[in-house]
Amino acid sequence: MGNEPTTLEFSTSTPRGAVFDEWAALMNETYFPLTLEPIEEAPTFGRVTSSALPGVPGFSLTTLAGRNQHFRRTKTHVAAGLEEYLLVSIQISGHARLTQRGRSVTLLPGQMTILDTSLPSVWDCGAAFEQVLVQVPTRYLRDQPGLEQIRIPAATAIEPDSPPGVVATYFRELARIRLHAPAEADLLAGAALGLLGSAVLLAAGDKPVDTPADALSREHVTVFLREHYTDPDLSAAEVAAACHISRRTLFRLFDGPGASLNDTLRGLRVRHAERLLTSPRTRPLAAVAFESGFASERHFYRVFQQETGMTPRDYRNTHIR
Protein backbone atom coordinates (compact mmCIF):
# COMPACT_ATOMS: atom_id res chain seq x y z
CA MET A 1 0.00 0.00 0.00
CA GLY A 2 2.77 2.47 0.89
CA ASN A 3 2.46 5.57 3.00
CA GLU A 4 -0.63 6.99 1.35
CA PRO A 5 -1.14 10.77 1.72
CA THR A 6 -4.21 12.37 3.24
CA THR A 7 -5.91 15.46 1.77
CA LEU A 8 -8.05 18.11 3.46
CA GLU A 9 -9.46 21.23 1.83
CA PHE A 10 -11.80 24.16 2.39
CA SER A 11 -13.35 27.03 0.48
CA THR A 12 -15.34 30.04 1.65
CA SER A 13 -16.63 33.25 0.13
CA THR A 14 -16.42 35.02 3.52
CA PRO A 15 -12.96 34.61 5.07
CA ARG A 16 -14.10 35.72 8.53
CA GLY A 17 -15.93 32.87 10.17
CA ALA A 18 -15.95 29.31 11.47
CA VAL A 19 -14.77 27.70 8.21
CA PHE A 20 -11.62 29.82 8.03
CA ASP A 21 -11.00 29.36 11.77
CA GLU A 22 -11.11 25.58 11.33
CA TRP A 23 -8.59 25.86 8.50
CA ALA A 24 -6.30 28.01 10.68
CA ALA A 25 -6.49 25.39 13.43
CA LEU A 26 -5.57 22.68 10.91
CA MET A 27 -2.50 24.67 9.82
CA ASN A 28 -1.38 24.89 13.44
CA GLU A 29 -1.81 21.15 13.82
CA THR A 30 -0.07 20.29 10.53
CA TYR A 31 2.91 22.58 11.01
CA PHE A 32 3.62 24.56 14.22
CA PRO A 33 2.06 27.41 16.29
CA LEU A 34 1.19 30.38 14.06
CA THR A 35 -1.52 32.90 13.28
CA LEU A 36 -3.38 32.62 9.98
CA GLU A 37 -5.52 35.47 8.66
CA PRO A 38 -7.01 36.45 5.29
CA ILE A 39 -5.08 39.16 3.47
CA GLU A 40 -8.29 40.82 2.24
CA GLU A 41 -12.03 40.46 2.52
CA ALA A 42 -12.31 38.17 -0.48
CA PRO A 43 -13.01 34.49 -1.21
CA THR A 44 -10.31 32.13 -0.01
CA PHE A 45 -9.55 28.44 -0.24
CA GLY A 46 -6.95 25.95 0.89
CA ARG A 47 -5.90 22.35 0.27
CA VAL A 48 -3.25 20.35 2.11
CA THR A 49 -2.02 16.87 1.17
CA SER A 50 0.45 15.37 3.64
CA SER A 51 2.29 12.18 4.48
CA ALA A 52 5.14 11.13 6.73
CA LEU A 53 8.68 10.62 5.44
CA PRO A 54 10.94 7.83 6.75
CA GLY A 55 13.95 8.34 8.98
CA VAL A 56 12.87 10.32 12.05
CA PRO A 57 9.63 11.31 13.83
CA GLY A 58 8.04 14.55 12.62
CA PHE A 59 9.59 14.36 9.14
CA SER A 60 6.84 15.11 6.60
CA LEU A 61 6.10 16.02 3.00
CA THR A 62 3.14 18.32 2.29
CA THR A 63 1.60 19.93 -0.77
CA LEU A 64 -0.17 23.17 0.18
CA ALA A 65 -2.39 25.13 -2.19
CA GLY A 66 -4.66 28.11 -1.59
CA ARG A 67 -5.12 31.85 -1.88
CA ASN A 68 -5.66 34.94 0.26
CA GLN A 69 -3.70 33.72 3.30
CA HIS A 70 -1.32 35.55 5.65
CA PHE A 71 0.77 33.32 7.96
CA ARG A 72 2.49 34.97 10.92
CA ARG A 73 4.75 33.37 13.53
CA THR A 74 5.59 35.67 16.44
CA LYS A 75 8.00 35.46 19.37
CA THR A 76 5.07 34.25 21.44
CA HIS A 77 4.47 31.38 18.99
CA VAL A 78 8.18 30.51 19.07
CA ALA A 79 8.21 30.44 22.88
CA ALA A 80 5.07 28.25 22.94
CA GLY A 81 6.45 25.63 20.56
CA LEU A 82 7.62 22.32 22.00
CA GLU A 83 9.84 21.59 18.98
CA GLU A 84 11.85 23.67 16.53
CA TYR A 85 11.51 22.77 12.86
CA LEU A 86 13.21 23.48 9.60
CA LEU A 87 10.73 24.03 6.79
CA VAL A 88 11.74 23.94 3.13
CA SER A 89 9.27 25.46 0.68
CA ILE A 90 9.36 24.75 -3.07
CA GLN A 91 7.09 26.97 -5.16
CA ILE A 92 5.04 25.06 -7.74
CA SER A 93 2.76 27.84 -9.00
CA GLY A 94 1.86 31.41 -8.13
CA HIS A 95 4.13 33.32 -5.78
CA ALA A 96 4.63 33.78 -2.03
CA ARG A 97 6.62 36.23 0.06
CA LEU A 98 8.60 35.13 3.14
CA THR A 99 10.13 37.57 5.64
CA GLN A 100 12.52 36.30 8.32
CA ARG A 101 15.71 37.49 10.02
CA GLY A 102 15.35 40.92 8.42
CA ARG A 103 15.25 39.47 4.91
CA SER A 104 12.34 39.20 2.47
CA VAL A 105 12.14 36.92 -0.53
CA THR A 106 9.40 36.51 -3.13
CA LEU A 107 9.31 32.94 -4.38
CA LEU A 108 8.52 32.28 -8.04
CA PRO A 109 7.65 28.87 -9.54
CA GLY A 110 10.61 26.48 -9.31
CA GLN A 111 12.41 28.41 -6.56
CA MET A 112 13.01 27.09 -3.05
CA THR A 113 13.56 28.76 0.31
CA ILE A 114 14.16 27.70 3.91
CA LEU A 115 12.30 28.80 7.05
CA ASP A 116 13.69 28.39 10.58
CA THR A 117 10.83 28.11 13.10
CA SER A 118 13.10 29.17 15.98
CA LEU A 119 12.71 32.73 14.61
CA PRO A 120 9.61 34.89 13.96
CA SER A 121 8.45 34.99 10.35
CA VAL A 122 5.74 36.30 8.04
CA TRP A 123 4.46 34.46 4.97
CA ASP A 124 2.07 36.14 2.52
CA CYS A 125 0.24 34.13 -0.15
CA GLY A 126 -2.29 36.42 -1.84
CA ALA A 127 -2.97 35.09 -5.33
CA ALA A 128 -3.60 31.40 -5.98
CA PHE A 129 -0.48 29.37 -5.16
CA GLU A 130 0.83 25.84 -4.70
CA GLN A 131 3.91 24.76 -2.73
CA VAL A 132 5.65 21.57 -1.71
CA LEU A 133 6.75 21.79 1.93
CA VAL A 134 9.28 19.55 3.66
CA GLN A 135 9.34 19.74 7.45
CA VAL A 136 11.74 18.12 9.91
CA PRO A 137 12.59 18.72 13.59
CA THR A 138 15.78 20.80 13.55
CA ARG A 139 17.48 18.61 16.16
CA TYR A 140 17.43 15.63 13.80
CA LEU A 141 18.89 17.68 10.97
CA ARG A 142 21.64 18.90 13.32
CA ASP A 143 22.58 15.28 14.03
CA GLN A 144 23.86 14.90 10.48
CA PRO A 145 27.58 15.39 9.75
CA GLY A 146 28.50 19.01 9.04
CA LEU A 147 25.21 20.47 10.25
CA GLU A 148 25.82 20.72 14.00
CA GLN A 149 26.67 24.44 14.10
CA ILE A 150 25.80 25.66 10.62
CA ARG A 151 23.76 28.87 10.30
CA ILE A 152 20.52 27.99 8.51
CA PRO A 153 20.26 30.15 5.34
CA ALA A 154 16.67 31.34 5.86
CA ALA A 155 14.62 33.54 3.50
CA THR A 156 16.94 33.14 0.50
CA ALA A 157 15.68 32.26 -2.97
CA ILE A 158 17.36 29.06 -4.21
CA GLU A 159 17.21 28.67 -7.97
CA PRO A 160 16.08 25.36 -9.53
CA ASP A 161 19.26 25.04 -11.62
CA SER A 162 21.58 25.49 -8.62
CA PRO A 163 23.13 22.49 -6.76
CA PRO A 164 20.59 22.59 -3.89
CA GLY A 165 17.88 23.10 -6.51
CA VAL A 166 18.47 19.49 -7.58
CA VAL A 167 17.15 18.46 -4.18
CA ALA A 168 14.11 20.70 -4.68
CA THR A 169 13.36 18.79 -7.89
CA TYR A 170 13.61 15.51 -5.98
CA PHE A 171 11.05 16.56 -3.35
CA ARG A 172 8.73 18.09 -5.94
CA GLU A 173 8.71 14.85 -7.93
CA LEU A 174 8.36 12.77 -4.76
CA ALA A 175 5.21 14.72 -3.86
CA ARG A 176 3.83 14.07 -7.34
CA ILE A 177 4.67 10.35 -7.41
CA ARG A 178 3.14 9.60 -4.00
CA LEU A 179 -0.32 10.58 -5.27
CA HIS A 180 -0.56 7.61 -7.66
CA ALA A 181 2.25 5.30 -6.51
CA PRO A 182 2.78 5.62 -2.73
CA ALA A 183 4.72 2.35 -2.50
CA GLU A 184 7.26 3.51 -5.08
CA ALA A 185 7.40 6.91 -3.37
CA ASP A 186 8.35 5.12 -0.15
CA LEU A 187 11.30 3.52 -1.93
CA LEU A 188 12.44 6.87 -3.30
CA ALA A 189 12.00 8.56 0.09
CA GLY A 190 14.70 6.49 1.79
CA ALA A 191 17.38 9.11 1.11
CA ALA A 192 15.15 12.12 1.87
CA LEU A 193 16.73 13.19 5.16
CA GLY A 194 20.28 13.01 3.80
CA LEU A 195 19.28 14.95 0.71
CA LEU A 196 17.62 17.64 2.81
CA GLY A 197 20.83 17.98 4.82
CA SER A 198 22.79 18.29 1.58
CA ALA A 199 20.49 21.07 0.38
CA VAL A 200 20.98 23.04 3.60
CA LEU A 201 24.77 22.64 3.41
CA LEU A 202 24.85 23.69 -0.23
CA ALA A 203 22.53 26.65 0.34
CA ALA A 204 24.77 27.78 3.20
CA GLY A 205 27.78 27.66 0.89
CA ASP A 206 29.39 24.56 2.41
CA LYS A 207 30.32 21.35 0.62
CA PRO A 208 28.43 18.27 1.78
CA VAL A 209 30.42 15.75 3.79
CA ASP A 210 30.54 12.13 2.67
CA THR A 211 27.17 10.92 3.97
CA PRO A 212 24.93 13.60 2.39
CA ALA A 213 26.97 13.46 -0.83
CA ASP A 214 26.41 9.72 -0.99
CA ALA A 215 22.70 10.36 -0.49
CA LEU A 216 22.70 12.56 -3.57
CA SER A 217 24.46 9.87 -5.62
CA ARG A 218 22.17 7.17 -4.30
CA GLU A 219 19.11 9.21 -5.22
CA HIS A 220 20.53 9.75 -8.72
CA VAL A 221 20.80 5.97 -9.06
CA THR A 222 17.30 5.41 -7.64
CA VAL A 223 15.78 7.84 -10.14
CA PHE A 224 17.58 6.02 -12.98
CA LEU A 225 16.29 2.67 -11.72
CA ARG A 226 12.75 4.00 -11.59
CA GLU A 227 13.00 5.08 -15.22
CA HIS A 228 14.54 1.82 -16.50
CA TYR A 229 13.46 -1.00 -14.16
CA THR A 230 11.18 -2.56 -16.81
CA ASP A 231 14.27 -3.46 -18.87
CA PRO A 232 14.97 -7.13 -18.01
CA ASP A 233 18.55 -6.78 -19.30
CA LEU A 234 19.39 -3.86 -17.00
CA SER A 235 22.79 -4.58 -15.40
CA ALA A 236 24.81 -3.03 -12.58
CA ALA A 237 27.46 -2.01 -15.12
CA GLU A 238 24.84 -0.16 -17.19
CA VAL A 239 23.44 1.60 -14.11
CA ALA A 240 26.92 2.65 -12.95
CA ALA A 241 27.88 3.97 -16.39
CA ALA A 242 24.64 5.93 -16.76
CA CYS A 243 25.14 7.52 -13.32
CA HIS A 244 28.87 8.23 -13.94
CA ILE A 245 30.12 6.14 -11.03
CA SER A 246 32.07 2.89 -10.74
CA ARG A 247 30.40 -0.44 -10.03
CA ARG A 248 32.23 -0.51 -6.70
CA THR A 249 30.78 2.88 -5.74
CA LEU A 250 27.35 1.79 -6.93
CA PHE A 251 27.24 -1.16 -4.56
CA ARG A 252 28.80 0.86 -1.71
CA LEU A 253 25.98 3.43 -1.99
CA PHE A 254 23.45 0.69 -1.23
CA ASP A 255 25.53 -1.05 1.43
CA GLY A 256 24.17 -0.41 4.92
CA PRO A 257 20.78 0.62 6.31
CA GLY A 258 17.91 0.59 3.86
CA ALA A 259 17.24 -1.45 0.76
CA SER A 260 20.15 -2.86 -1.24
CA LEU A 261 20.51 -2.19 -4.96
CA ASN A 262 18.89 -5.52 -5.85
CA ASP A 263 16.13 -5.03 -3.27
CA THR A 264 15.32 -1.59 -4.69
CA LEU A 265 15.14 -2.88 -8.25
CA ARG A 266 13.13 -5.92 -7.22
CA GLY A 267 10.69 -3.76 -5.25
CA LEU A 268 10.07 -1.48 -8.22
CA ARG A 269 9.38 -4.45 -10.47
CA VAL A 270 7.03 -6.15 -8.02
CA ARG A 271 5.04 -2.93 -7.45
CA HIS A 272 4.71 -2.57 -11.23
CA ALA A 273 3.53 -6.17 -11.53
CA GLU A 274 0.95 -5.58 -8.78
CA ARG A 275 -0.53 -2.71 -10.77
CA LEU A 276 -0.68 -4.79 -13.94
CA LEU A 277 -2.27 -7.72 -12.13
CA THR A 278 -5.06 -5.54 -10.76
CA SER A 279 -5.67 -3.45 -13.87
CA PRO A 280 -8.97 -3.88 -15.77
CA ARG A 281 -7.05 -5.24 -18.75
CA THR A 282 -6.21 -8.88 -18.04
CA ARG A 283 -2.75 -9.85 -19.27
CA PRO A 284 -1.19 -13.31 -19.37
CA LEU A 285 1.16 -13.80 -16.43
CA ALA A 286 4.10 -14.18 -18.82
CA ALA A 287 3.31 -10.73 -20.25
CA VAL A 288 3.09 -9.25 -16.75
CA ALA A 289 6.52 -10.70 -15.97
CA PHE A 290 8.11 -9.30 -19.11
CA GLU A 291 6.46 -5.86 -18.87
CA SER A 292 7.62 -5.57 -15.25
CA GLY A 293 11.26 -6.24 -16.09
CA PHE A 294 11.65 -9.90 -15.08
CA ALA A 295 13.86 -12.02 -17.30
CA SER A 296 11.64 -15.10 -17.05
CA GLU A 297 8.22 -16.14 -15.82
CA ARG A 298 9.79 -18.55 -13.35
CA HIS A 299 11.93 -15.79 -11.81
CA PHE A 300 8.86 -13.55 -11.65
CA TYR A 301 6.85 -16.18 -9.74
CA ARG A 302 9.64 -16.76 -7.22
CA VAL A 303 10.38 -13.08 -6.52
CA PHE A 304 6.72 -12.04 -6.44
CA GLN A 305 5.87 -14.72 -3.88
CA GLN A 306 8.88 -13.78 -1.75
CA GLU A 307 7.82 -10.11 -1.73
CA THR A 308 4.05 -10.49 -1.30
CA GLY A 309 3.54 -13.94 0.22
CA MET A 310 1.24 -14.83 -2.69
CA THR A 311 1.61 -16.20 -6.18
CA PRO A 312 0.83 -13.74 -8.99
CA ARG A 313 -2.34 -15.70 -9.84
CA ASP A 314 -3.55 -15.68 -6.22
CA TYR A 315 -2.76 -11.97 -5.94
CA ARG A 316 -4.86 -11.23 -9.03
CA ASN A 317 -7.76 -13.37 -7.83
CA THR A 318 -7.68 -11.73 -4.39
CA HIS A 319 -7.61 -8.13 -5.64
CA ILE A 320 -10.01 -8.33 -8.57
CA ARG A 321 -13.66 -8.82 -7.72
Q: In Å, what is the CA distance from 112 to each residue of 193, 199, 210, 317? A: 17, 10, 24, 46
- End residue of a domain, out of 207, 241, 263: 207
**Claim to verify: residue 115 and residue 46 sit in the same structural domain:** yes
**Claim to verify: residue 166 and residue 284 sit in the same structural domain:** no
Which DSSP string do the residues of 20-63 spell out, in sequence order? HHHHHHHHHHHS-S-EEE-SSSS-EEEEEEEEE-SSSTT-EEEE
**Claim to verify: residue 63 and residue 201 sit in the same structural domain:** yes
The CATH number that applies at residue 245 is: 1.10.10.60
Q: In Å, what is the CA distance from 244 to each residue of 146, 174, 217, 237, 250? A: 25, 23, 10, 10, 10
Model pLDDT for residues 82-125, shown as the tens digit of each residue = 889 999 999 999 999 899 887 888 999 999 999 999 889 999 98
**Claim to verify: residue 249 and residue 154 sit in the same structural domain:** no
**Claim to verify: residue 134 and residue 10 sit in the same structural domain:** yes
Strand partners, 49: 7, 63
**Claim to verify: residue 151 and residue 238 sit in the same structural domain:** no
Give this prediction's pTM: 0.65
CA distance 21 to 176: 29
Q: In this structure, is residue 131 part of a structural domain?
A: yes
Model pLDDT for residues 134-156, shown as the tens digit of each residue = 999 999 988 887 788 788 888 88
Model pLDDT for residues 34-66, shown as the tens digit of each residue = 888 888 888 899 999 999 998 899 999 999 999
The whole domain housing 113 covers 6-207
Mean pLDDT score, 253-280: 83
**Claim to verify: residue 139 and residue 243 sit in the same structural domain:** no
Cβ atoms 198, 213 nearer than 8 A: yes
Q: Which of 206-210, 259-263, 292-296 has the lowest mean pLDDT?
A: 206-210
The sign of the torsion formed by the CA atoms of 265, 269, 270, 274 equals: positive
**Claim to verify: residue 132 and residue 28 sit in the same structural domain:** yes
Nearest alpha-carbon partner for 68 in 97, 98, 37: 37
**Claim to verify: residue 111 and residue 17 sit in the same structural domain:** yes
Mean pLDDT score, 9-17: 85
Strand partners, 133: 62, 89
Residue 213 clears pLDDT 60, i.e. is over it: no
Work out whether strand 6-12 and strand 44-52 pair parallel, antiparallel, or are unpaired: antiparallel
Per DSSP, the three-state class of 248 is: helix
Q: In this structure, is residue 304 part of a structural domain?
A: yes
The CATH number that applies at residue 152 is: 2.60.120.10
Q: In this structure, is residue 217 part of a structural domain?
A: no
Say what the pLDDT of residue 321 is.
Answer: 58
Model pLDDT for residues 158-181, shown as the tens digit of each residue = 998 888 888 999 999 999 999 888
**Claim to verify: residue 301 and residue 247 sit in the same structural domain:** yes
**Claim to verify: residue 198 and residue 71 sit in the same structural domain:** yes
- Written as one letter, the residue type at 249 is T
Q: In this structure, is residue 291 part of a structural domain?
A: yes
**Claim to verify: residue 147 and residue 256 sit in the same structural domain:** no
- Structural domain total, the chain: 2
